[in-house]
């Protein structure tokens, strides 16, 4: 599987990396980064983009106009015993910052109003009129809630040991949640929009802009993730091979994924595995990843090959981000003579999931009393 960032040099049909790689490996599965697609699906436009720009203008006015003004605002928050100690900035490159900045802005609305009323600058009057506008704040609170859900999805896709099965399940679940969000707004209950519920006085203030944005999200997710369709039978097979139905197209789908397997032997091996009580207990105890690692490759070569191919498609975002974090810690100013080889070894130790059995190592150590 090849996951790209969607750049033409990566996805070009003739000279792109995916095309060149497919010429060598015809069975290659090429996908656009799932996390990146989730961000692109939620790109703002129209009235909501205008609202977001106004929110950032207010935040930048308070934080970036002068260090004195920023310091006075933080002192005001301290005096008013505010829930938060400062506003947050937003950058498009940092995908989670939009939701967090909106959440902090809505949470500090009263403190911002107090500060703007006390400011003598002309821009403060313009910003004050915006934040006192109920429609403006309703849109801001709506975006705060919906981007909170999008941030939860984003973080859920970046966890440790996430396989492609986990990622696809998360995306499918969020698409179902979007239907719930749309119904929540249409009925006016706002169960999934707590910030919006506190901001508006009646469901009549729910605008078409909000419902249209949810509809746009649904269409974008459905369109962009159309190629990310994973056979449900194979996902269930990897999760729990003891409950999957043998009669059906499971073997055909497995053959399509891994052409080298014997479809007939695959079915017979699955029957043998489902007849084993011991292996079922091992699955419940160790989990799918460890279970398939320990499966005897000589006894179950075909079904293990399919399971390993599925499990080897894993999300690498967590590993990549962890690598950068550990590298920044390792390459400190006091280690100026650190070589690339030593850095590589340090990163391997920092990122490995293996844990040394210190007690056993100490017990096996032979002490030389003559020294």
pLDDT score, position 298: 92
> Would you say residue 289 lies in a domain?
yes
Q: Which of 125, 140, 124, 131 is nearest to 73 (CA)?
A: 124
Helix (H, G, I), strand (E, B) or coil at 303: helix
Kindly state the percentage of the chain with pLDDT values over 70. 90
Reply yes or no on whether the pLDDT at 316 is more than 80.
no
> Would you say residue 246 lies in a domain?
yes
Contact 224, 32 (CB under 8 A): yes
Instruction: Determine phi and psi for 302, rounding to 5 degrees.
Output: -75, -50
Reply yes or no on whether the pLDDT at 90 is more than 80.
yes
| Cβ count near 298 (within 10 Å) | 6
Same domain membership, residue 210 and residue 129: yes
Same domain membership, residue 126 and residue 13: no
224 contacts: CB under 8 Å, gap ≥ 6: 32, 37, 40, 41
Reply yes or no on whether the pLDDT at 219 is more than 70.
yes
110-143: pLDDT as tens digits: 999 999 988 888 888 899 999 998 899 999 999 9
Our CA dihedral for 6, 10, 16, 19, rounded to 10 degrees, sits at: -80
Position with higher pLDDT, 356 vs 147: 147
Helix (H, G, I), strand (E, B) or coil at 211: helix
Same domain membership, residue 345 and residue 202: no
| Cβ count near 180 (within 10 Å) | 12
Q: Which of 324, 315, 313, 332 is nearest to 351 (CA)?
A: 324
> Would you say residue 97 lies in a domain?
yes
Q: What is the 3-state secondary structure (H, E, C) of 126-155?
A: HHHHHHCCHHHHHHHHHHHHHHHHHHHHHH
Residues, the chain, total?
A: 371
Contact 215, 183 (CB under 8 A): no
> Would you say residue 276 lies in a domain?
yes
Same domain membership, residue 57 and residue 22: no
Positive/negative CA dihedral, 182, 185, 191, 195: positive
Same domain membership, residue 277 and residue 332: no
Position with higher pLDDT, 256 vs 59: 59
Same domain membership, residue 95 and residue 195: yes
221 burial class (0-12, 13-18, 19+ CB within 10 angstroms)?
A: buried
> Would you say residue 166 lies in a domain?
yes
Cα separation, 202 vs 199, whole angstroms = 9
Q: What is the chain's mean pLDDT, rounded?
A: 84
pLDDT score, position 348: 86
Q: Which residues pair with 3 in a beta bridge?
A: 31
> Would you say residue 39 lies in a domain?
no
Mean pLDDT confidence for 52-65:
90
Cα separation, 263 vs 248, whole angstroms = 12
Mean pLDDT confidence for 150-177:
84
Same domain membership, residue 85 and residue 199: yes
Domain boundary, last residue among 311, 328, 347: 311
Mean pLDDT confidence for 235-242:
87
pLDDT band at 251 (very low <50, low <70, confident <90, very high): confident
Domain boundary, last residue among 190, 224, 258: 224
Instruction: Determine phi and psi for 224, rounding to 5 degrees.
Output: -70, -30
Q: Which two tokens stand for residue 2?
A: 């090849």
Cα separation, 266 vs 262, whole angstroms = 6
Reply yes or no on whether the pLDDT at 371 is more than 60.
no
Mean pLDDT confidence for 5-19:
70
Reply yes or no on whether the pLDDT at 26 is more than 90.
no
The total domain count for the chain is: 4
pLDDT score, position 1: 61
> Would you say residue 347 lies in a domain?
yes
Reply yes or no on whether the pLDDT at 66 is more than 90.
no
Q: Which two tokens stand for residue 311?
A: 């499990």
183-208: pLDDT as tens digits: 999 988 889 999 999 988 888 888 88
Same domain membership, residue 261 and residue 188: no
Same domain membership, residue 266 and residue 201: no
Reply yes or no on whether the pLDDT at 305 is more than 70.
yes
Q: Identify the weakest region by mean pLDDT among 27-31, 184-188, 263-267.
A: 27-31
Mean pLDDT confidence for 174-182:
92
Reply yes or no on whether the pLDDT at 317 is more than 70.
yes
Supply the range of the domain harboring residue 16. Answer: 2-32
- Residue located via tokens 């696809």: 168
Instruction: Determine phi and psi for 163, rounding to 5 degrees.
Output: -90, 170
Reply yes or no on whether the pLDDT at 6 is more than 70.
no
pLDDT band at 302 (very low <50, low <70, confident <90, very high): very high
Reply yes or no on whether the pLDDT at 338 is more than 70.
yes
> Would you say residue 28 lies in a domain?
yes
Radius of gyration of the chain (CA): 27
| Cβ count near 83 (within 10 Å) | 10
Contact 103, 148 (CB under 8 A): yes
Contact 131, 137 (CB under 8 A): yes
pLDDT band at 103 (very low <50, low <70, confident <90, very high): very high
Reply yes or no on whether the pLDDT at 81 is more than 60.
yes
Same domain membership, residue 262 and residue 130: no
Same domain membership, residue 171 and residue 67: yes
Contact 158, 317 (CB under 8 A): yes
Reply yes or no on whether the pLDDT at 333 is more than 70.
yes
Reply yes or no on whether the pLDDT at 178 is more than 70.
yes
Same domain membership, residue 337 and residue 248: no
Domain boundary, last residue among 224, 255, 274: 224
Kindly state the percentage of the chain with pLDDT values over 90. 20
């Amino acid at each position: 599987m090849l996951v790209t960032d969607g750049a033409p040099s990566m996805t070009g049909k003739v000279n792109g990396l995916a095309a060149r790689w497919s010429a060598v490996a015809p069975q290659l599965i090429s996908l656009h980064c799932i996390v990146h697609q989730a961000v692109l699906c939620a790109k703002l436009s129209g009235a909501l983009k205008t609202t977001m720009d106004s929110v950032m203008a207010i935040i930048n006015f308070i934080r970036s106009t002068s260090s004195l003004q920023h310091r006075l605002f933080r002192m005001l928050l301290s005096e008013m015993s505010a829930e938060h100690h400062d506003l947050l900035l937003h950058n498009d490159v940092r995908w989670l910052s939009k939701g967090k900045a909106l959440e902090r802005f809505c949470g500090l609305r009263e403190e911002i109003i107090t500060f703007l009323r006390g400011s003598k600058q002309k821009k403060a009057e313009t910003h004050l009129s915006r934040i006192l506008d109920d429609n403006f704040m309703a849109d801001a609170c709506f975006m705060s809630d919906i981007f909170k859900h999008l941030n939860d999805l984003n973080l859920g896709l970046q966890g440790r040991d996430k396989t492609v099965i986990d990622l696809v399940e998360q995306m499918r679940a969020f698409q179902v949640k979007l239907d719930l969000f749309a119904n929540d707004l249409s009925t006016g209950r706002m169960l999934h929009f707590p910030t919006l519920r506190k901001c508006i006085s009646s469901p009549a203030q729910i605008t078409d802009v909000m419902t249209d944005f949810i509809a746009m999200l649904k269409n974008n997710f459905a369109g962009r993730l159309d190629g990310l369709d994973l056979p449900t039978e194979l996902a269930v097979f990897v999760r729990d091979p003891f409950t999957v139905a043998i009669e059906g197209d499971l073997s055909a789908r497995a053959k399509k994924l891994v052409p080298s397997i014997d479809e007939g032997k695959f079915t017979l091996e699955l029957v043998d595995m489902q007849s084993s009580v011991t292996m079922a207990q091992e699955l419940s105890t160790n989990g799918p990843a460890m279970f398939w690692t320990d499966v005897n490759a000589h006894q179950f070569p075909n079904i293990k090959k399919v399971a390993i191919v599925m499990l080897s498609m894993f999300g690498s975002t967590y590993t990549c981000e962890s690598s950068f974090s550990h590298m920044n810690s390792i390459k400190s100013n006091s280690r100026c003579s650190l070589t690339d080889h030593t850095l590589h070894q340090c990163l391997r130790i920092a990122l490995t999931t293996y844990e040394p059995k210190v007690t056993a190592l100490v017990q096996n150590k032979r002490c030389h009393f003559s020294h």
